[in-house]
Amino acid sequence: MLKIDNINTFYGHIHALKGISLEVKQGEIISLIGANGAGKSTTLLSISGLEKPRSGSITFNGEDLTRMTPDSIVSLGISQAPEGRRIFPSLTVLENLELGAFLRNDKKQIKKDIEFMYSLFPILGDRRHQLGGTLSGGEQQMLTISRALMMEPKLLLLDEPSLGLAPLIVKQIFEIIQKVNKEHNITVFLVEQNANQALKISDRGYVLQNGVITLSDTGENLLKNDDVRKAYLGV
């Protein structure tokens, strides 16, 4: 479904991604793990078209994304829940969800999908008329993911969904990721510092260090890998 082939992405003179290659197959949950500054978020921004690689290619279902605009990439079925819970704080929960469906015109299904988001995260239903900026951190993260899902994506990009959240909320969010993947056939590309949680639910994973992919394997095998355990699992 998604193929990244030898891309190099820069911020000015800083070489953030150094010839990385990876692939995501339809129906998978794929994790990209690594330390702060390794290039994880840059990888997602490169896919979304918000950062343009200087070389290499990114294809999605055979379409070359490398020179596409971000809105064109979204229209193909790629939706991103960004790091840092970037909701619209002055809009209500409901309005944030409606904005997630801005490319859609199936009003009846949009309403059904909003109710589905409330079923995934009941607290959002309770707070549907509350301003996004007044929600807790965990509630804002739920809203960020729900807004991305309102696009009806084929591929969902998640950037640090567990960052700064209480363990109980983290557990709930990872359960929802599995649910939408298995029950709604949404492929997930997950960027996470919480390697333990991410790899537990992933079919496969990649390890990114200083802009270079250093290791790839099944999620199960990476959890057992001594280098991964020492570097990312605190074992």
CA-CA distance, 159 to 43, in Å (whole number)?
A: 10
190 compared with 164, residue with greater pLDDT: 190
pLDDT digit string, tens, across residues 104-156: 889 999 999 999 999 999 999 999 999 999 999 889 999 999 999 999 999 99
pLDDT band with cut points at 50, 70 and 90 for residue 234: low
Length of the chain: 235
| CA atoms lying within 13 Å on the CB side of residue 7 | 28
CA-CA distance, 147 to 135, in Å (whole number)?
A: 15
Give domain 2-86+153-232's CATH architecture: 3-Layer(aba) Sandwich (3.40)
- Give the number of other CB atoms < 10 A from CB of residue 198: 28
Q: Name the pTM for this structure.
A: 0.92
